[in-house]
Amino acid sequence: MKESVKVELDQKQKTKENVSSRTQKLFDVAKGIHPKIENSDLAIDFPAYEAAEVLKEYKIKADQSKTEAIKFVRRQMVTR
């Protein structure tokens, strides 16, 4: 009984060590990346007025798609 408990404890300890070493590696990677992200400029310079124009275009396209879908459904209902 003592032997099986000891083996189980050893396995748990090894698992814990593996997990902690993996976690430490992930933290090391994050520590290396974080300063680069914090100190870098944005990769995309997208002015607000362009964003507003794009939003308007998408809204118009969405309305057109809705209209076409309604037309299609109405045609299907009329032909039946």
Number of domains forming the structure of the chain: 2
Indicate if 11 and 35 belong to the same structural domain.
yes
Indicate if 48 and 67 belong to the same structural domain.
yes
What pLDDT shows up at residue 41? 64
Indicate if 35 and 55 belong to the same structural domain.
no
DSSP 26-55: HHHHHHHHHHHHHHSPPS----HHHHHHHH
pLDDT in tens, the chain (80 residues): 667 666 676 777 777 666 677 777 877 888 788 777 776 665 566 677 777 888 899 999 999 999 999 999 998 888 76
pTM: 0.38
Indicate if 50 and 78 belong to the same structural domain.
yes
Domain region containing 33: 1-40
Indicate if 31 and 48 belong to the same structural domain.
no
What pLDDT shows up at residue 10? 72
